[in-house]
Chains A and B, each alone.
Chain A
Amino acid sequence: MKTDTACQSCGSACGLCVTQISHFSVNMRGKCILEDINLQIHCGQLTALVGPNGAGKSTLFKAILGEVPHEGQLQFLNSEGKRSARPRIGYVPQRLNFDPNSPITVSDLFVSALGRLPALLGGSRRTISIARQALDRVEAQHLINRRLGALSGGELQRVLLALALEPVPDLLLLDEPISGVDFKGMQCFYQIVAELRKQYDLSVLLVSHDLNAVADYADRVILLNRVILCDGTPLQVMKHPLFESTMGIVEHRAV
């Protein structure tokens, strides 16, 4: 299999658990959006999905999340060799659709996702303490009582990462924001992801538009355009002849 060659470079983690995507296809309104996607994502590995707009990157995420109907199988194999069809997935969305004046705080966000009691009661002490610990992982504890609308793009991104990591997922899906996060915020975010990946032995699948970040932080890059065109280390993929013609860019030739 093609995917195996790329995985030799990422043996730092236990690497025993693996998320297996086999024969994923998505058809919507008679149009084939993804065709026969086969992927193995080992823990401790950061895999970046790149591709032009409309390549099906977000659709692949939605298929993994079970939001759009798909053919094929998703299987998770943990380090003891136990199979499960429903891995725990942490998801960091690209953007949120609240209005900036919205009275939702970071704490409300955590309570709504984790709490038993309705968030309008303020959340139990236990839930709040879990939220604080989760925020601590991304150095964002001080943001707990801030409104989501009052956060910067980078802060919001970190908060969403903290939420996705509580509880620690089998597979982390990161959908990188297209706008609203400055360069420094992005660097900070990727550094935190890199550290947490080691610490928790996370499998990370990243949709990225920032090819410099991909080159710096990803172990493996997958070029997607309806089908997987190319799969390997960042250097291998970015030098591949298909890369330039698919992405339609010239300025990244230096990579």
Chain B
Amino acid sequence: MYEAVTALVSLLPFSWAKYAFMQNALLAILVVVPLFALLGAMVVNNQMAFFSDTLGHSALTGIAIGVIVGVNDPTWSMLIFAVFIAIAVTIIKERTGTSADTIIGAVSATAVALGIVILSKGGGFARYSRYLVGDLLSISPQEVTALGLVLIAVLVLWYIIFNQLLLLSINPSLAGSRGFRVRLVETCFAVSLAMVVTFSIQWIGILIINALLVLPAAAARNVAAGMKSYHLWTFLITAVCGVSGLILSYYWDTATGATIVLLAALCYVFTLILRQPGR
């Protein structure tokens, strides 16, 4: 089935469509778009942009742990460490009250420093710089399929917990009074966010993954009038920036993730200007 889709892509009348790496990358973008649109919309809505940034940064320590343990592919160590961070921050946030900015900032800085110290030992940090920038063009068909499975899992999860997450973001006690299991739902969201962020980091890059999550939703917020149009706009902006960013990065010979983020930033500025005064 995967071959059938790539064959379809290769029929496109562009020079880039002939290359297998571009076909894979395009399909990856098509999977990443709805995935990041859904998660990003919720991240911005629940004011968790800083939190998801920390999850991205924690990947450095995750890789470092992988190196110490001695695995070739650090995906699993990243994943486990990010889930650990997600749960830890959720618990700390709960224990200490609403504003967890300082704690999140401290965790984030520690995770980055620890990761760099371990990875730079012996002067070999350059080997890991691909994680900082990310390389979407290196994605394999198996990895695209795995991303597709992640998307399906998130869709199912969203169907179950979306309403609860939304009410929770409005007022946790109100959500509790309707019988919603506030802590469970919050943890589910944090863990799924951690998994998606760390899983996609090798293709998007630690430095910009949070921007890709947050910018389209932030832009959509400037023009949306309700949840439905908010998600539609987030999806559209992510899709347009994702596909055009990929193609532009091919012609400009630039990093794909960063090119996409730059376009999303343009969208944000544009919607900020469009935004009606008094909103």
Q: A62-B173, A99-B47, A104-B170 are in contact. Are A113 and B163 (CB under 8 A)?
A: yes
A125-148 interface code vs B (CB 8 A; 1 in, 0 out): 000000000000000000001011
Q: A121, B228: Cβ atoms under 8 Å? A: yes
B51 nearest CB across to chain A (Å): 15
Q: Are B173 and A119 in contact (CB under 8 A)?
A: no
Q: Is the CB of B279 within 8 A of A104?
A: no
Number of interface residues of B (CB under 8 A): 31
> How far is it, in angstroms, between the C-alpha of A61 and the C-alpha of B41 when the chains are bound?
32
The answer on a CB contact under 8 Å between B162 and A119 is yes
Known interface pairs A65-B173, A108-B226. Does A118 touch B159 (Cβ–Cβ under 8 Å)?
yes
Residues 99-131 of A contacting B (Cβ, < 8 Å): 99-105, 107-109, 111-113, 115, 118-122
Compute how far the CA of A103 lies from the CA of B174 in the bound complex, rounded to whole angstroms.
19
In B161-177, which residues have CB < 8 Å from any A CB? Answer: 162-164, 166-167, 169-171, 173-174, 176-177
Instruction: Please choose the segment from A19-27, A90-98, A191-199, A231-239 that sits at the chain B interface, where 4 or more of its residues have CB less than 8 A away.
Output: A90-98
How many angstroms from the CA of A26 to the CA of B125 in the assembled complex?
A: 53
A67 touches B226 (CB 8 A): no
- CB contact under 8 A between A120 and B228, given known A101-B221, A102-B221, A113-B178: yes
- Closest Cβ of chain B: how far from A101's Cβ, in Å? 6
Partner of B162, one of A120, A150, A160: A120
Contact A66 B170 (CB under 8 A): no
30 A-B residue pairs with CB within 8 Å: A62-B173, A67-B173, A89-B177, A91-B174, A96-B174, A97-B169, A98-B169, A101-B222, A101-B279, A103-B220, A103-B226, A104-B166, A104-B170, A104-B226, A105-B225, A105-B226, A105-B227, A108-B166, A111-B227, A112-B167, A113-B178, A118-B163, A119-B162, A119-B163, A119-B227, A119-B228, A121-B228, A122-B228, A147-B225, A150-B279
Instruction: Let me know if B170 and A98 touch, CB within 8 A.
Output: yes
Q: Which residue on B lies nearest to A89, using beta carbons?
A: B177
B interface residues with partner A (beta carbon < 8 Å): 41, 45, 47, 98, 158-159, 162-164, 166-167, 169-171, 173-174, 176-178, 220-222, 224-231, 279
Residues of B within 8 Å of A112, CB to CB, are: 162-164, 166-167, 170
Q: How far is the CA of A96 from the CA of B226 in the complex (A)?
A: 17
Q: Please state if B173 and A111 are interface contacts (CB–CB under 8 Å).
A: no
Task: Give the chain A neighbours of B98 by CB distance below 8 A.
Answer: 97
B221: which A residues are within 8 A, CB to CB? 101-103
CA distance A62 to B172 in the complex (A): 11
Q: How far apart are the CA atoms of A62 and B182 in the complex, in Å?
A: 14
Q: Which residues of chain A are near B222, meaning CB under 8 Å?
A: 101
**Nearest CB in chain B: distance from A118 CB, A:** 4
The interface residues of chain B, by DSSP majority, are classed as: helix
Bound CA span A115–B178, Å: 12
Chain A residues with Cβ below 8 Å from B45 are: 102, 104
Q: Give the residues in chain A near B224, CB-CB below 8 Å.
A: 103
Interchain CB contact under 8 A, B171 and A97: yes
* Chain A residues packing against B (C-beta within 8 Å): 61-62, 65-67, 89-91, 93, 95-105, 107-109, 111-113, 115, 118-122, 145, 147-150, 160, 163-164, 173
Q: How far is the CB of B242 from chain A (nearest CB, A)?
A: 19
Q: List the A side residues contacting B230 at CB < 8 Å.
A: 103, 120
Closest chain B CB from A108 CB (angstroms) = 4
In the assembled complex, the CB of A227 is this many whole angstroms from the nearest CB of chain B, namely 24
Q: How far is the CB of B157 from chain A (nearest CB, A)?
A: 11
A103 touches which of B47, B167, B170, B229 (Cβ 8 Å)? B229
Q: Nearest chain B CB to A180's CB is how many angstroms away?
A: 15
Q: How far is the CB of B233 from chain A (nearest CB, A)?
A: 9
Q: Which residue of chain B has the shortest Cβ distance to A99 in the bound complex?
A: B47
Q: A96-B170, A96-B171, A97-B171 are in contact. Are A145 and B177 (CB under 8 A)?
A: no
* Cα of A96 to Cα of B166 in the assembled complex, Å: 12
Contact at A113–B227, with CB atoms within 8 Å? no
Whether A115 and B163, one on each chain, are in contact in the complex, defined by CB atoms closer than 8 angstroms, is: yes
5 further interface pairs, Cβ-Cβ under 8 Å (given A103-B230, A109-B170): A91-B173, A96-B170, A98-B170, A105-B227, A111-B163
Q: How far is the CA of A89 from the CA of B177 in the complex (A)?
A: 6
Chain A positions within 8 Å of B167 at CB level: 109, 112-113
CA gap between A199 and B231 in the complex, in Å:
40
Q: Name the CB-closest residue of B to A107.
A: B226
Residue numbers in B under 8 Å from A66 (CB-CB): 176
Q: Which residues of A contact B173 (CB under 8 A)?
A: 61-62, 65, 67, 91, 93
Shortest Cβ distance from B23 into chain A, in angstroms?
30
Write out the residue numbers on chain B whose beta carbons fall within 8 Å of the beta carbon of A148: 170
Whether B158 pairs with A118 at a CB distance below 8 angstroms is yes
In the complex, the answer to whether B162 meets A93 with C-beta atoms within 8 Å is: no
Residues of A within 8 A of B169 (CB): 97-98
Q: Which residues of B contact A147 (CB under 8 A)?
A: 225-226
